[in-house]
Amino acid sequence: MAANLVVFLIVAAFVLIGGMVMLTETRVLHMAFAVALSFLGIAAFFFLLGAEFLGVMQVIVYTGAVTTLAVFGIMLTKHDAEDPPANPNRWHRLLSLFVSAALFAIFFYALIRTPLYTPVERETPISAAEIGAHLFSGQYVLAFELIGVLLLAALIGSVVLAKEDAPDRAKEDRR
């Protein structure tokens, strides 16, 4: 058995365990950390495929930032630490079984029908410099800049929202 298959199976097990724990757990915080495990496993898939830059980005953005954000959101908002376990009736169970089976069938069919892309043999993984060069080529530069503007708008928006609780002198004077 080749080493990459062994690594793949171990990592896939972690991804699936993370997903299962996320679905079965009743405490919200546990769900957030279970998803973090899945995210980490997906990063490992990227590494396994030689997309190191994507793998690290997955770790930084999803495992690091998104999970931290979710955990902060859970901690800072008021809610019960434990959700009551869902107690579905029989129809509910049947319906969810049907929906998940149908979804699985659709995805599986699509996966089987997709012609598998045979990768070009590369000696070295795709470097960050190549990705950078492609990002700033004519093909992607507009999308890149638009995302930059979007992020800037989000940043300014969050600053405006966060500033709201500062005492507003002008409004108080008018009263």
Residues that bind another protein (CB under 8 A): 1-4, 6-7, 27, 29-30, 33, 36, 40, 48, 50, 52-53, 56-57, 59-60, 63-64, 67-68, 71-72, 75, 124-125, 127-129
Looking at beta carbons only, is 133 or 153 nearer to another protein? 133
CB of 162 to another protein, least distance (A): 12
Residue owning tokens 């979007």: 150
- Taking only Cα atoms into account, the Rg of the chain, rounded to an integer number of angstroms, comes to 23
Looking at beta carbons only, is 65 or 103 nearer to another protein? 65
Farthest CA pair distance, the chain: 78
Looking at beta carbons only, is 121 or 172 nearer to another protein? 121
CB of 7 to another protein, least distance (A): 7
Residue owning tokens 């060069």: 133
d(CA 101, CA 95): 10
CB of 59 to another protein, least distance (A): 4
Beta bridge partners of 82: 27
- Three-state SS for 142? helix
